Structure 1
Amino acid sequence: MKRLGALVTALTLCICIGGIGAAQGWSLAEAAKPYAGTSIKAIFLDRPGYKAAAKLLPEFEKITGIKVNTEVIPYENTREKIVLDMTARGGEYDVVLTDVVWIGEFASNGWLVPLEKFYNDPKLADPALNLKGFFPILLDSFGTWDKKIYGLPFDNYAGLLFYNKCMLQKAGFSKPPATWEELLKVYAPKLTNPKAGVYAFALQSRRGETQSADSFMRMLWPFGGSLIDPKTFEPNLLSPASLRGLQFRQDLMKYMPPGIVDYDHNEAVNALAQGKVAMITEWSAFYTTLADPKSSKLGNCLGVATEPAGPAGLKGALGGFSYGVNAFSPPERQAAAYLFIQWITSEAKAKDYVRAGGVSARMSVYKDPAIQKAFPFTVPMVKAWEQGNPIFRPRFPEWPEISEVIAQIGTEMMLGKVSVKDGAAQINAKVKEILTKAGYYDGKKPKLQ
């Protein structure tokens, strides 16, 4: 979680120096000439950011002669697909999609090529790459491991509060709740009508990464809690602050729809879009879905703000992905993959990407008043990113195993099969076991990334 600003500055200077000679004549078309006719493969998700990229792909293919084949995979199956390919050294996916919590696993196993190999090559490196133009928290969190950059931020999220302005106004509220406590005690009772099938809030909580990250972890940071104590590296769910956040989630459940533990992102977004709930905390990328009259009834009733603050302040969720290069792909496909990644994440394409429905990691694009007006979610999103919030899911390679533990016991908590305190104790014990086995307490592994 260390800030890597100095590293980014040094790398940027290196790129600028290396690109001086090429700055006059470098072009994507010229850089791609040796790879014209090459086909590469990238993983896409069924989300707005990837649909936006798909709209831009023909331009890249026309300029470069490189064919980008895409495979749309459900998020839940993505890591498994990548891991199977990597362990077999198959090189099927040249452009590797890496979640914020997979970067440690992928990089430490040698599955990704450090991008310095490409951006220090003046034949491949666009002199306008400008690593300092990315939001630092996004480049550091999604693309950097052990002081090396393995990916460029592509599909980027901040947790936001989406709400139905008309429902809130009807209940007597002129603005959204500023704090979680206000949401629970003031807003929720007035916005919930079980007989009419209308509820104040929906927290996507389906068992899996949605439960462990979007539901469970979301309630720790704002209340001052955490999965791991950053000083001792001991499991921290039995701390008063962590228990306060998890108990808050239980208290809020009576204002959520029945079966909330089966809600994934689509179910939560659709509940708001169809007027079944008044508020959700969801990723910024879902704004386009909620604003689309084909999928949403909200129209002018759609409101968006930062997530509510907790006793520890504004600690909204942070999520997203980077695109990196498969270490087992042939050299020509690696180079072609890098050219695509560099282009799709560039400052030059940022506005096109945002207008097509994506969320860019570039700071410059959100300074444009026209973008702010057309996409209101960008203002609270930028505010959340500029807060420099901690990564609310640990990035160490053992996260997938820990996530499964949280998903199971966190679901049992919500269903009342285990108390909050007992569930927290169970997760603590299992996390300690996983981290001990991995060598975090005997000096074999660094404790924080």
Structure 2
Amino acid sequence: MGGRHLNKFAGTCVTAALAVALSMGTALASPYERFAGTTIVVSWPAMTHFAAAEKLVDEFTEETGIEVEFDTLQYLALRDRQLLEMSKPRGDYDVVSWVVMWKGEYVTKGLLTPLSQFFADPTLVDPDYDIDDIADAYLQNGGVVGGEKGYLAGKSGALYGIPFGAETSFLAYREDIFAEQGLEPPRTYDELLVVLDRLKAAGIPAMTSRGATGHQVTAAWLMHLAPLGGRIFDEAWNPTFNDTAGVKAAEVLREVVRTGPVGIPAFGLGEASAAFLQGDAAMYLDTIKIAAQVRDPNLSRVDGLVGYALHPVGDRCGAETGGFALGIPANSQNQQAAFLFIQYMTSKLGDQRIVELGGDPIRMSTLEANVGNFAEYQTVLEQLPCADADWRPLIPEYNELNVDILGQALTEIITTDSPIQPIMDAAVEKARAMMERAGYYAWNDYRAAAN
């Protein structure tokens, strides 16, 4: 497997509790004892959060005796590799980390194991785990499948994953530039548009953004769609993104490109982030992961100059939900050990260690306990109640919609002066045809014919 590396069981330390027990001559049974010597294989992305987490994996191995191998890939390559492995009768993976957009496809194809059976087993579940402490929007967005709309919480929903490397969005801005220009961080979209123009008039690239054709430009547009009151589909799965809100979001994105740094139509997330980190833009409106990068001297020239504010509000507050989750393939041969790994990495103690190691927390208690240590955590706590678990439709067909339909239409919008409404109208027709092929209207057509 490309990118695989092995964290060996060092056997040089034990937990404090176990050390005390041994010093007292007390033989205490460990919940991990029967799994010692097991090797699990984890598929996750080559990203900073996961690189930081590998140090915690070493601690997991030291405590449990469960060895961990990684198949680490660039995140855009994960889906194809995971689909291949999870479709086999016996797969190589025991834990997979997926981007939230893939969860519906994986479950529809029967590739994931529900986690409820493990949480019901008292020999496996840590009574101090406290799943309610995990940010609700992260848990719904990354791990729940089968509820409302097929991908949100509800009575028919089931838990297939735990968020890990999850995110929402907020505004990062250059405090020094805003002070020099007499500006306040924008609280609304009306204020944001004014700030964009003011900065542009002062000769300062205003806000960086993703813009590359495909899923990157779609993500950039979605940043504005939810707070401006839009949705991609209505309750009957009719595409509605050519409505007033959808067109307005596209107008905002076009304005961001006009007033921002040169090159946005070619920017992925990395390039968009780099423009802010290198001082080439005064604002950044995207994932909260930018804050850790601001502090990294290997990436940033702006540490100490950046402030954080809530995602601007339009018709409603509607921050992003996204990132990754951890789950167990249905064809894993080591499912219980895999669950223990996921539980360890996302526990209260694990979440705190992730923060100390430079990763991103998923728990409210971790954010609250570290407000004084990280400048952005108070803003994240205030933002999470507005994190929209329905920020994008996490249906199995989303990849086609994301890349081939919206991703193409939005590229035309940000690279030309063509009227926006006809472009969005044409994209809606393509989306409707896609949903028709997938059978979303079959029951409605059946009832109409029967009546």
Post-superposition shift, 1:113? 0.6
The one-letter code matched in structure 2 to 1:58 is D
Contact 1:43 1:71 in 2 (8 A): yes
What SS does structure 2 have at the residue aligned with 1:400? Answer: helix
* Alpha-carbon distance between aligned partners in 2 of 1:39 and 1:164, rounded to the nearest angstrom: 47
TM-score between the two structures when normalised by the length of structure 1 = 0.86
* Alpha-carbon distance between aligned partners in 2 of 1:387 and 1:222, rounded to the nearest angstrom: 9
Contact 1:167 1:191 in 2 (8 A): no
Give the corresponding residue for 1:400: 399
What SS does structure 2 have at the residue aligned with 1:97? Answer: strand
* Alpha-carbon distance between aligned partners in 2 of 1:28 and 1:357, rounded to the nearest angstrom: 33
Contact 2:141 2:389 in 1 (8 A): no
Give the corresponding residue for 1:143: 143
Contact 1:142 1:153 in 2 (8 A): yes
Give the corresponding residue for 1:203: 209
The one-letter code matched in structure 2 to 1:256 is G
Is 1:291 the counterpart of 2:295? The answer is yes
The one-letter code matched in structure 1 to 2:328 is V
* Alpha-carbon distance between aligned partners in 2 of 1:408 and 1:241, rounded to the nearest angstrom: 19
Please identify, of 102-111 and 42-51, the stretch whose mean Cα deviation from structure 2 is larger. Answer: 42-51
Post-superposition shift, 1:52? 2.2
* Alpha-carbon distance between aligned partners in 1 of 2:350 and 2:421, rounded to the nearest angstrom: 49
Give the corresponding residue for 1:253: 257
Is 1:222 the counterpart of 2:227? The answer is yes
CA displacement 1:399-441 (0-9 Å, x = unmatched)? 1111122112211221117532122112211111111111111
Count of paired positions: 408
Is 1:96 the counterpart of 2:99? The answer is no
Post-superposition shift, 1:209? 2.1
What SS does structure 2 have at the residue aligned with 1:77? Answer: helix
* Alpha-carbon distance between aligned partners in 2 of 1:98 and 1:390, rounded to the nearest angstrom: 16
Map 1:249-328 to 2 at 5 A.
249-310=253-314, 312-328=315-331
What SS does structure 2 have at the residue aligned with 1:316? Answer: coil
What SS does structure 1 have at the residue aligned with 2:409? Answer: helix
Give the corresponding residue for 2:14: none
What SS does structure 1 have at the residue aligned with 2:309? Answer: strand
CA displacement 1:293-352 (0-9 Å, x = unmatched)? 232111210111111112x1321111122100011111xx21111111000000122211
What SS does structure 1 have at the residue aligned with 2:85? Answer: helix
Post-superposition shift, 1:255? 0.5
What SS does structure 2 have at the residue aligned with 1:98? Answer: strand
Give the corresponding residue for 2:39: 39
Post-superposition shift, 1:109? 1.5
Give the corresponding residue for 1:24: none
* Alpha-carbon distance between aligned partners in 2 of 1:291 and 1:304, rounded to the nearest angstrom: 13
Give the corresponding residue for 1:17: none
Post-superposition shift, 1:191? 2.2
CA displacement 1:202-232 (0-9 Å, x = unmatched)? 11122232222x2122221111122112x33
What SS does structure 2 have at the residue aligned with 1:381? Answer: helix
The answer for unaligned runs of 5 or more in structure 1 is 1-26
The one-letter code matched in structure 2 to 1:159 is S
What SS does structure 1 have at the residue aligned with 2:285? Answer: strand
Contact 2:164 2:346 in 1 (8 A): yes
* Alpha-carbon distance between aligned partners in 1 of 2:228 and 2:364, rounded to the nearest angstrom: 29
Give the corresponding residue for 2:429: 429
* Alpha-carbon distance between aligned partners in 1 of 2:29 and 2:130, rounded to the nearest angstrom: 19
Shift of the 286–444 alpha-carbon distance from structure 1 to 2, 3 Å rule, reads farther
The one-letter code matched in structure 2 to 1:337 is A
* Alpha-carbon distance between aligned partners in 1 of 2:30 and 2:89, rounded to the nearest angstrom: 31
* Alpha-carbon distance between aligned partners in 2 of 1:346 and 1:314, rounded to the nearest angstrom: 29
Post-superposition shift, 1:44? 2.7
* Alpha-carbon distance between aligned partners in 2 of 1:403 and 1:158, rounded to the nearest angstrom: 19
Contact 1:202 1:257 in 2 (8 A): yes
TM-score between the two structures when normalised by the length of structure 2 = 0.85
Post-superposition shift, 1:358? 1.7
* Alpha-carbon distance between aligned partners in 2 of 1:161 and 1:29, rounded to the nearest angstrom: 49
Shift of the 228–158 alpha-carbon distance from structure 1 to 2, 3 Å rule, reads same
Give the corresponding residue for 1:348: 349
Please identify, of 413-422 and 377-386, the stretch whose mean Cα deviation from structure 2 is larger. Answer: 413-422
What SS does structure 1 have at the residue aligned with 2:101? Answer: coil
Please identify, of 382-391 and 250-259, the stretch whose mean Cα deviation from structure 2 is larger. Answer: 382-391
Map 1:169-188 to 2 at 5 A.
169-173=179-183, 175-185=184-194, 187-188=195-196
Contact 1:66 1:336 in 2 (8 A): yes
The one-letter code matched in structure 2 to 1:217 is L
Give the corresponding residue for 1:65: 65
What SS does structure 1 have at the residue aligned with 2:442? Answer: coil
* Alpha-carbon distance between aligned partners in 2 of 1:302 and 1:236, rounded to the nearest angstrom: 37
Post-superposition shift, 1:159? 0.7
* Alpha-carbon distance between aligned partners in 2 of 1:388 and 1:267, rounded to the nearest angstrom: 24
Contact 2:250 2:410 in 1 (8 A): no
The one-letter code matched in structure 1 to 2:189 is W
CA displacement 1:179-215 (0-9 Å, x = unmatched)? 2221222x22332379x7x401111122232222x21
* Alpha-carbon distance between aligned partners in 2 of 1:183 and 1:202, rounded to the nearest angstrom: 13
Post-superposition shift, 1:106? 1.0
* Alpha-carbon distance between aligned partners in 1 of 2:348 and 2:136, rounded to the nearest angstrom: 15
Contact 2:223 2:286 in 1 (8 A): no
Contact 1:222 1:245 in 2 (8 A): no
The one-letter code matched in structure 1 to 2:354 is Y
* Alpha-carbon distance between aligned partners in 2 of 1:378 and 1:386, rounded to the nearest angstrom: 14
Contact 1:45 1:73 in 2 (8 A): yes
The one-letter code matched in structure 2 to 1:181 is D
* Alpha-carbon distance between aligned partners in 1 of 2:80 and 2:160, rounded to the nearest angstrom: 19
CA displacement 1:51-83 (0-9 Å, x = unmatched)? 221121111011111111223222221212211
The answer for unaligned runs of 5 or more in structure 2 is 1-26, 147-156, 446-451
- Cα-Cα RMSD: 2.2
Using the aligned pairs only, state the percent identity: 28
* Alpha-carbon distance between aligned partners in 1 of 2:238 and 2:208, rounded to the nearest angstrom: 31
The one-letter code matched in structure 2 to 1:190 is R
* Alpha-carbon distance between aligned partners in 2 of 1:63 and 1:192, rounded to the nearest angstrom: 55
Give the corresponding residue for 1:235: 239
Contact 2:205 2:282 in 1 (8 A): yes
Map 1:20-39 to 2 at 5 A.
30-39=30-39
Shift of the 28–142 alpha-carbon distance from structure 1 to 2, 3 Å rule, reads farther
